[in-house]
Structure 1
Amino acid sequence: MNPVAATKMSGLLLRQLSQRVLSTSACRGLVAETSANLRHVGSVGGVRYKSTQATDAAQEEKGESSKAISSYWGIAPPKITKEDGSAWKWNCFRPWEAYTADVSIDVEKHHKPNNMMDKFAYWTVQTLKIPVGLFFQRRHMCHAMLLETVAAVPGMVGGMLLHCKSLRRFEHSGGWIKALLEEAENERMHLMTFCEIAQPAWYERAIVFAVQGAFFNAYFVAYVVSPKLAHRIVGYLEEEAVISYTEFLKDLDNGSFENRPAPAIAIDYWRLPPDSTLRDVIVVIRADEAHHRDLNHYASDIQCQGHELKEAPAPIGYH
């Protein structure tokens, strides 16, 4: 075929195709097909959109806030109320996690260093206490907030490492994972309580950031190298926490620090009377620290006697 004939044939073919594609009937068919496809997609995906719309409508009927989060996955947190029927306002803990603190515990107990490991742990804590005391002086609220951001670390680190150990060895932990995580959560709730009372300044937040970062890594290494040393250090840290809160109570009693009403979160968490004060909160927090002191010294004693933690049932719920 010569070039002229080929050009004519191509032009004829293009004209035929353009007439078919751009004809009114073809366009109508295309529109009809597209509409049918959209209706099909709507019928398939309509469950999702209709379910969301139904959820939104249900929320409006129930008078819920317009800011409520709707989820295609059907996840909805349960509505929790107090015993009197009022709404439960705390998302950081639930009513069944609240408890009544045992304030009868001996807050003056002290583990006397018996060997080189104990002495190293004791004097390490005493050395770390010096700069903290010089910086905070009698500013108990700021001191307590720093103390709690550090005190909540050991339980989480120990629980995490025991969790990994349990997975590696295909063995149970004797409940110690849960006990240590309970300790970490309890210490965190101390901080949440203090946050309701005072707001730390920017430089105090910077100190917390630096101290917590350094302590987390140091304690992680210590627990990997010697868990019994790590628990002994925490035991002595908790002894100092008890002393610190005892000094706080003295200043509340002599009027050096205002004994304001207890925060609502503390009243719900420790099941305190409605008319409780800050002093009542410090008393229960000090009791918690004393329990953590005993738990960590006990954990260290178990390992110092040549046993593993899993061989002794953990005191779960021992705040």
Structure 2
Amino acid sequence: MSVEHLEKQPATSISDYEGILVVVEHRGGTAKKVSWQLLGQGRRMADKLGAPLMALVIGHQVKHLAQEAVVFGADHVYICDNESLNDYRTKPYSRVCLDVFAQAKPEIVLFGATATGRDLAGAIATHLPTGLTADCTALDVEPQPSRILLASRPAFSEKMMATILCKKYRPQMATARPGVFQALQRDDTRTGNVIHVPFHDHYGETATRVIDFITEVNSINLEEADIIIAGGRGLGGPEVFGLLQELADALDGTVGASRAAVDAGWVMHERQIGQTGQTVRPKLIIAAGISGAVQFTVGMQHADMIIAINKDPEAPIFQIAHYGIVGDLFKVLPEIIAEAKKRRGLA
């Protein structure tokens, strides 16, 4: 892996911009899954354009993430590593990004639609004469000659999809939901260039400082969950979610829900999966009492394994499920829980 140093070469027109750049998000040196997911989709689009795929890593003691970005598909990785960048703060990170964008001249820039990604992308957009499409659920590109990013997202109260174009300005920028795209398989044989971005004193000039991070013990993170047990209207009430939690505990999983269950007040919104909730890509999702309306399925259809439990054999959920159980969930769930506990020695 070769090492280069950044040199200033300001862009003057759209034709000066080339390639796709993904801003890698991490916490404590561990990358968020959405970063590798975006590199996977970025690789597919870059190949379609015949352009390089780039990544930007900002932080402290994050050199390992530069190599990880190469492993997951990047050709070139820009890295700015300094103690002042140890914790995410809007001003320092946005200043680094703006300088790198000016030098690397990417035609497309992608961020995760996370709390950090949305904050950073929005701050950067205020300084650039270009647009930002937020919370995308689909990304593609038109090939030569337009090379336009097709950034699609739900619109009009989630009733339709809108594809937004930025024809006249560069870079084209978008944030995309976690769990929508699939990361490439690790390829430890890949090689790429690491370009070191010098740290300038003005990067650290900010009125804010991070005192501490407090992680909620009972916080819910469906986007990172490998196993999700989800319930819907068919559960009939909030008390049945206790069965789902029991199964989730037996499988080291997390409980999710459809919009109908959330709207009924049975569970908190942070457990909602779907267009107006979270998009997830777990290894396993068990959907109990969920009919399978599009609003829900678009948020979980890319799970590695989908098991549906519903008493209606015509329920739409069975059309996307890998395995389906037609039956009374109040009889089926206890049997699954008992078997799961038995196999894990918890019975």
Q: Would you say same fold, with TM above 0.5?
A: no
Please say which structure displays the higher CA radius of gyration.
Answer: 1
Flag the structure with higher helix content.
1
Which protein, 1 or 2, shows the higher relative CO under an 8 Å CA cutoff with sep ≥ 6? 1
TM-score normalised per structure 1: 0.24
TM-score normalised per structure 2: 0.23
Flag the structure with higher strand content.
2
